[in-house]
Amino acid sequence: MYKILTLIVTLLSIYGCSGGSSLDEDNSYKIHKDITSTIFWVGEESSSENGGIANLASAWDEEWKENFGGVDTPDERDGYLPKGFIPKENPFYIALPFNDFDDEGDKKEGLLSFIPWAKKSDTQTQSLCKNRWVKIEKDGKVAYGQWEDVGPFGEEDRGYVFGDGDVKNSINNHAGIDLSPALKTYLDLEDIDSVTWSFVDDKDVPEGPWRERVTIKNVGWTQEWYRPTKESSWQWQLTGELNSEYDVDMYDIDLFDTSKEVIDTLHNEGRKVICYFSAGSYEDWREDKDSFNASLLGNELDGWEGERWLDISNPLLHPIMLKRLDIAKERGCDGVEPDNIDGHTNDTGFELDEDDQFYYNKFLADEAHQRGLSIALKNDKSQILELEPYFDFAISEECYDHESCDKLTTFIEANKPALNAEYEVDDESRDTLCNYTNALGIKTLLLPLNLDGSFRDSCE
């Protein structure tokens, strides 16, 4: 039996299942010794050797092959990687025979009673198992992989996976774990071999090739969400008493400062509601401000008192943003506008690069869609080509003033709306500005800098 460590590490379950502190006597998770391992891979076609089970999709991701980036064939390798492409997700992955969702896509009952890192605060849409780190040992050599699928040949063997039970599966010498080609190569395994494995917390995973591309996408099932069109009209107001009298398709309003009742009223008036929150900065007036570890806080944002940049490369930030997305869903928002998601181009106090920003922004988009929420790409024009496929519309501030409106056409060409706000525009410039953005298909509003609703002029 596991003992519960009383001092819980703050903000765990970062990567799907990462986190948790249920430990045994020697401060480690249950060690499963002499377990038969087999090899499987993303994009594997069904055959008699794998029981007719293809791996184009995983138990948690209907588009696993696409999200991974291709077929991870074991026959043509470039070191730990498949030849011909760089995987978008971690090539060090495993499968274990348990699924925390049922056939209807609902969380199974009673998970708190046997998954040692499960918590009452875990969301109903996020897997407790996908992306969980696992330590694998063979003949004194150690590797690490992330749990990305269910198998081999079973998904209900909780007694073995989380406890002391024997493996239920009888195929392939009672195989109890599937390993990726990268793990096979690193550990020098045969197609059917024997390994020792155990769960491990994210904080205890050392640097290595398994850390070069960590999988953060959680369950990827087809969801329906609001998708604004290029013709959608909008109003943007984040402060002050809301003026809801504009005849527009959607309102973009503050997540924390707007009640569910106001959102319900806008819905009753036929409006869609986009909810704003900052995903890249800390604001010392927000109700969840105490959730932020000091290590996450960087430099102050110029001109915005009480606001500091966040370290988006730190996984401690993920659960806070997941909670904000959950709040948006609970309050009835149709979509979200995460702000300050271009920190890599600013003086944040952290050494953030394009990859840090891309994977953080994609994480936000994936998690929003998982909750049935639309999501806007805000201002990150330097990555607009790469990020457009993951976002539903773009919001820009002062693209005309910054001479960057042409970049927004990436969204328009993808049949998605590009929205823009300009501040402090004089009467002489208005017509020129509006004619230019209208010609590009950009929906431009002229608004006060503090977005308090004191005035609104539309280029339409």
In a domain, 373, yes or no: yes
pTM of the model: 0.60
- Do 205 and 334 sit in the same domain of this protein? no
- Residue 303 has a pLDDT of 86
Q: Is 210 helix (H, G, I), strand (E, B) or coil?
A: helix
Peptide bond between residue 228 and the one before it cis (omega within 30 degrees of 0):
no
Give φ, ψ of 362 to 5 degrees: -65, -40
- Do 402 and 291 sit in the same domain of this protein? yes
- Residue 49 has a pLDDT of 60
In a domain, 361, yes or no: yes
CATH of the domain at 429: 3.20.20.70
CA-wise closest residue to 232 among 104, 411, 371, 362: 411
What count of residues does the chain have? 460
Residue ending a domain, choose from 176, 211, 246: 211
Q: On the CB side of 428, how many CA atoms lie within 13 Å of its CA?
A: 0
The range of the structural domain enclosing residue 25 comes to 3-211
3-class DSSP string for 337-380: EEECCCHHHCCCCCCCCHHHHHHHHHHHHHHHHHCCCEEEEECC
In a domain, 425, yes or no: yes
Give φ, ψ of 260 to 5 degrees: -60, -35
Residue ending a domain, choose from 196, 211, 226: 211
In a domain, 224, yes or no: no
Encode the chain (460 residues) as per-residue pLDDT tens digits. Answer: 222 333 333 333 333 444 333 333 344 699 999 999 999 999 988 665 655 567 788 999 988 998 899 999 999 899 999 998 999 999 999 999 999 998 878 889 999 999 999 987 677 778 999 999 999 999 999 999 999 999 998 889 999 999 999 999 999 999 999 999 999 999 999 999 999 999 999 989 999 999 998 888 877 665 679 999 999 999 999 999 999 999 999 999 999 999 999 999 999 999 999 999 999 999 999 999 999 999 999 999 998 899 999 999 998 999 999 999 999 999 999 999 999 999 999 999 999 999 999 999 998 998 898 888 999 999 889 999 999 988 999 999 999 999 999 999 999 999 999 999 999 898 889 999 999 999 999 999 999 999 999 999 999 8
- Do 44 and 85 sit in the same domain of this protein? yes
- Do 207 and 254 sit in the same domain of this protein? no
In a domain, 221, yes or no: no
- Do 37 and 181 sit in the same domain of this protein? yes
CATH of the domain at 162: 2.40.40.10
Pairing type for strands 177-179 and 22-23 reads: unpaired
- Residue 387 has a pLDDT of 92
- Do 192 and 250 sit in the same domain of this protein? no
- Do 330 and 203 sit in the same domain of this protein? no
Tokens of 447: 């608004």
Report how far residue 357's alpha carbon sits from residue 344's, in angstroms, rounded to the nearest whole number. 6
Long-range contacts of 160-165 (CB under 8 A, 24+ apart): 160/32, 160/97, 161/96, 161/97, 161/98, 162/30, 162/98, 162/114, 162/115, 162/116, 163/30, 163/114, 164/30
In a domain, 217, yes or no: no
Report how far residue 25's alpha carbon sits from residue 23's, in angstroms, rounded to the nearest whole number. 7
- Residue 233 has a pLDDT of 96
- Do 299 and 416 sit in the same domain of this protein? yes
- Do 166 and 61 sit in the same domain of this protein? yes
In a domain, 216, yes or no: no
- How many domains are there within the chain? 2
CA-wise closest residue to 219 among 370, 322, 97, 329: 370
- Do 361 and 245 sit in the same domain of this protein? yes
Convert the pLDDT of each residue in 433-444 to its tens digit. 999 999 999 999
- Do 169 and 239 sit in the same domain of this protein? no
Tokens of 352: 């953030």
- Do 76 and 132 sit in the same domain of this protein? yes
Residue ending a domain, choose from 177, 211, 245: 211
Convert the pLDDT of each residue in 347-372 to its tens digit. 999 999 999 999 999 989 988 988 88
